[in-house]
Structure 1
Amino acid sequence: MPVKHPKVAVLLAAYNGMRWIEEQLASILGQSAVDVIVHISIDPSTDGTEAWCAAYAATHPGVLVLPAAGSFGGASRNFFRLIRDVNFEGYDFVAFADQDDIWHADKLQRATQAIQARQVDAYSSNVTAFWPDGKTHLLDKAQPQVEWDFLFEAAGPGCTYVLSKSLADSLKASMLDNWQLLQGVSLHDWYCYAYARSNGFRWYIDPEPSMDYRQHERNQVGANKGLSPLIARYKTIHDGWWFNQVQLIANLVGQGTDPFVRTWLTLRRNHLLRLSFSAWHCRRRVRDKVFFFCICWVTALIGNKAR
Structure 2
Amino acid sequence: MQPRVAVLLAAFNGKQWLKEQIDSILLQEDVVVSLYINVDQSSDGTEDFIDQLSKEEPRIHKLPFGQHYGGAAPNFYHLIKNIDFSQYDFVALSDQDDIWLTKKLVTAIANLNKSNADAYSSNITAFWPNGKKLLINKAQEQVQWDFLFEAAGPGCTYVLTKKFAINLQKFILMHWDAVNRISLHDWLIYAYARANGYRWFIDPYSSLLYRQHANNQVGANVGLSAFLVRAKKVLNGWGLNQSLLIANAVGLENSPFVSIWDKGNRLGYLFLSKHFWQCRRRLKDKFLFFMACISLALLPPQKRHE
User: TM over 0.5, yes or no?
Assistant: yes
In 1, the alpha carbon distance for the partners of 2:94 and 2:182 equals 18
Report the alpha carbon displacement of residue 304 of structure 1 after superposing the two structures with TM. Answer: 5.8
**Residue aligned with 2:187, SS:** helix
Aligned to 2:215: 218
The answer as to whether partners of 1:238 and 1:303 remain within 8 angstroms in 2 is: no
Distance between the aligned counterparts of 2:252 and 2:172, measured in 1?
15
Q: Secondary structure of 1:263's partner?
A: helix
Say if 2:10 and 2:96, in contact at 8 Å, map to a contact too.
yes
- TM-score normalised to structure 1 length: 0.97
The aligned counterpart of 1:127 is 124
Does structure 1 residue 184 correspond to structure 2 residue 181? yes
Work out whether 1:164 is the aligned partner of 2:138: no
| Paired amino acid for 1:225 | V
CA distance in 2 between partners of 1:230 and 1:52 (Å): 35
What does residue 247 of structure 2 align with? 250
Deviation (angstroms), 1:69: 5.2
Query: Comparing 173-182 with 188-197, which one deviates more in the overlay?
Result: 173-182
- Unpaired runs of 5+ in structure 1? none
- Do residues 67 (structure 1) and 64 (structure 2) align? yes
Alignment of 1:1-307 (within 5 A): 5-68=2-65, 70-303=67-300, 305-307=302-304
Over aligned residues, Cα RMSD in angstroms? Answer: 1.0
CA drift of 1:256 comes to 1.1
Give the letter aligned to residue 227 of structure 1.
L
**Equivalences, count:** 304
CA distance in 1, matches of 2:162, 2:285: 32
Q: CA deviation at 1:305?
A: 3.9
Segments ≥4 residues shifted beyond 6 Å: none
Task: Please tell me whether the aligned partners of residues 238 and 305 of structure 1 are also in contact (alpha carbons under 8 angstroms).
Answer: no
Structure 1 contact 237–304 (Cα < 8 Å) conserved: no
Report the TM-score when normalising by structure 2. Answer: 0.98
Give the conservation status (yes or no) of the 8 Å contact 2:265–2:301. no
Distance 1:164 1:96 in 2: 12
Letter in 2 for 1:196: A
* 1:32 and 1:109 in contact (8 A); partners too: yes
Counterpart-to-counterpart distance in 2, 1:241 and 1:277: 20
User: Offset at 1:266?
Assistant: 1.7
Identity %: 51
Secondary structure at the residue paired with 1:249? helix
Distance in 1, Cα, partners of 2:246 & 2:19: 34
The amino acid across from 2:253 in the alignment is G
Gaps of 5+ in 2: none
1:96/1:159 contact within 8 Å kept = yes
